[in-house]
Structure 1
Amino acid sequence: MARPIQFFLALTSPWTYLATPRVRALAAEHRVPLQFRPYDILSVFQRNGIKAVGDRPVPVQQNRLNELRRWRAHLGIELNLQPKHFPVNPTLSGKMLVSALAGPGDAPEFAWRVMRACWAEERDISDEATLSAIAADCGFDGAELLAAVQRGDADSGFAKNTEDAIAGNVFGAPTFLFDGELYWGQDRIEFLRRAVEAAA
């Protein structure tokens, strides 16, 4: 079996949103398993002394918006640079993805639609009703998926992903681990592609 790409992600990250279609296509093209690993990015930021977007210096924030604008144009993808519901807590959506990955529906599509909801559709992805509706559109029982998270069913999986992220020196999203190498950022997908092709 081909070695997997571990995809450490935060569904609230615009860079993860930009990366997801391309890394899914890369994995499908080369028949490499793509393991979605939603994790607690806020605790990882805190652990590594990384500031949240709104707390970063103004020039850094301005450059972030410029880079998002450039990548939006380059990729031809719909993206609101400053969406109505951002920043937004990523924990509920991340845990729902953990539960979705163990369920009968299309978990990768759920992840994608949650990101689109934030970055293209001006929807609040910390809202339970919004996430339940998206889950239902992806073949899940949205109410049950939410209830599973509320029962704590996803806590251990979310914590394990976070522990593995820390152990693997993951510090942001998206991050890809493949064949012992770390690739941070949607702009490193070409290097990831080369590694996947070399390992084939």
Structure 2
Amino acid sequence: MKTLTFHLDFISPYAHLAFEHLPQALQGISHAVDYRPVLFAAMLKHGGQLGPAEIPGKREWTYRQVLWLGHANGIDIQMPAAHPFNPLPLLRLALACGRDGLVNRHVAETVFRHVWHGGADAADPARLAALRARLAPARDPDGDEVKAELRANTEAAIAAGVFGVPALVADGRVFWGFDSLPMLRAALQGDPWFDTHWDGAASVVQGIRR
């Protein structure tokens, strides 16, 4: 059985799509999934980048594409009333329901659907309070222990080569994005392409730096 690590931030619509589609994508493959919340904004800062929702033109395209991908793949998704938003309360709440930096699928699903179903404001205080009451975390989401776990998850992901969400890590390989799920499935099924092409792709010389 393969163990996968799913790095997620609830702010990402692509993470929601990948999360919802993952059971179908891995059907018939013996596997376990570790769900690790991370702070996408910290990854962007580490790489000196803006998020897609911060770039005019790309922002609008991103929202159109994710809604289309949901439609095309039968995944329920609606844009929240405001995006981007501060995901820290949601990330910490999820971690407060788990242990050692991991959350279970039920918790992750509940938080994702809080954001991506219904079109409401994901950061609305009343909705956040209702979500907290529903999940009944065993730990304080605002406590130092939970905050430290989120930092540690994010730092470990960056050290492992994760640069965005969703990112699934299997056998030391990072698979990024909703559209990487078929590639992940092929790798887990032992497709020989990975033996000859995975490492070779990383050896291409960078011809210019900006």
Give the structure-2-normalised TM-score.
0.79
* Structure 1 segments unaligned to the other structure (5+ residues): none
The corresponding residue for 1:102 is: 99
The whole-number CA distance in structure 1 between the counterparts of 2:84 and 2:10 is 11
The corresponding residue for 1:112 is: 109
State the SS of the aligned residue for 2:142: helix
Range moving further from structure 2, 175-184 or 71-80? 71-80
> Cα gap change, 1:3/1:160 in structure 2, threshold over 3 Å: closer, same or farther?
farther
The whole-number CA distance in structure 2 between the counterparts of 1:132 and 1:35 is 26
Taking the TM superposition and a 5 Å limit, the aligned residue runs for 1:153-164 are 153-164=145-156
Is 1:74 the counterpart of 2:66? The answer is: no
The whole-number CA distance in structure 2 between the counterparts of 1:96 and 1:29 is 32
Are the counterparts in 2 of residues 7 and 37 from structure 1 also a CA contact under 8 Å?
yes
Q: Of the candidates 152, 173, 176, which is equivalent to residue 181 of structure 1? A: 173
Residue 135 of structure 1: how far off its partner (Å)? 4.9
Residue 128 of structure 1: how far off its partner (Å)? 5.3
Are the counterparts in 2 of residues 95 and 155 from structure 1 also a CA contact under 8 Å?
yes
Corresponding residue pairs, total: 189
The corresponding residue for 2:47 is: 48
The whole-number CA distance in structure 2 between the counterparts of 1:83 and 1:124 is 6
The corresponding residue for 1:171 is: 163
The corresponding residue for 1:193 is: 185
Are the counterparts in 2 of residues 114 and 125 from structure 1 also a CA contact under 8 Å?
no
The corresponding residue for 2:80 is: 83
State the SS of the aligned residue for 1:182: strand
> Cα gap change, 1:122/1:192 in structure 2, threshold over 3 Å: closer, same or farther?
same
Name the % identity. 23
Are the counterparts in 2 of residues 117 and 124 from structure 1 also a CA contact under 8 Å?
no
Is 1:62 the counterpart of 2:60? The answer is: yes
The whole-number CA distance in structure 1 between the counterparts of 2:34 and 2:181 is 15
* Structure 2 segments unaligned to the other structure (5+ residues): 192-210
The whole-number CA distance in structure 2 between the counterparts of 1:11 and 1:93 is 7
The whole-number CA distance in structure 1 between the counterparts of 2:33 and 2:124 is 27
Residue 169 of structure 1: how far off its partner (Å)? 1.6
> Cα gap change, 1:99/1:29 in structure 2, threshold over 3 Å: closer, same or farther?
farther
> Cα gap change, 1:97/1:29 in structure 2, threshold over 3 Å: closer, same or farther?
farther
The one-letter code matched in structure 2 to 1:44 is M
Range moving further from structure 2, 35-44 or 16-25? 16-25
The whole-number CA distance in structure 2 between the counterparts of 1:3 and 1:97 is 24
Q: 1:92-151 deviations in whole A, cap 9, x for unaligned?
A: 111222222229xx83122112212222223333345534533554xx425x54xx1122
Are the counterparts in 2 of residues 27 and 33 from structure 1 also a CA contact under 8 Å?
no
Are the counterparts in 2 of residues 16 and 186 from structure 1 also a CA contact under 8 Å?
yes
Pairwise CA RMSD:
2.4
The whole-number CA distance in structure 1 between the counterparts of 2:119 and 2:71 is 19
> Cα gap change, 1:73/1:54 in structure 2, threshold over 3 Å: closer, same or farther?
closer
State the SS of the aligned residue for 1:176: strand
Are the counterparts in 2 of residues 110 and 135 from structure 1 also a CA contact under 8 Å?
no
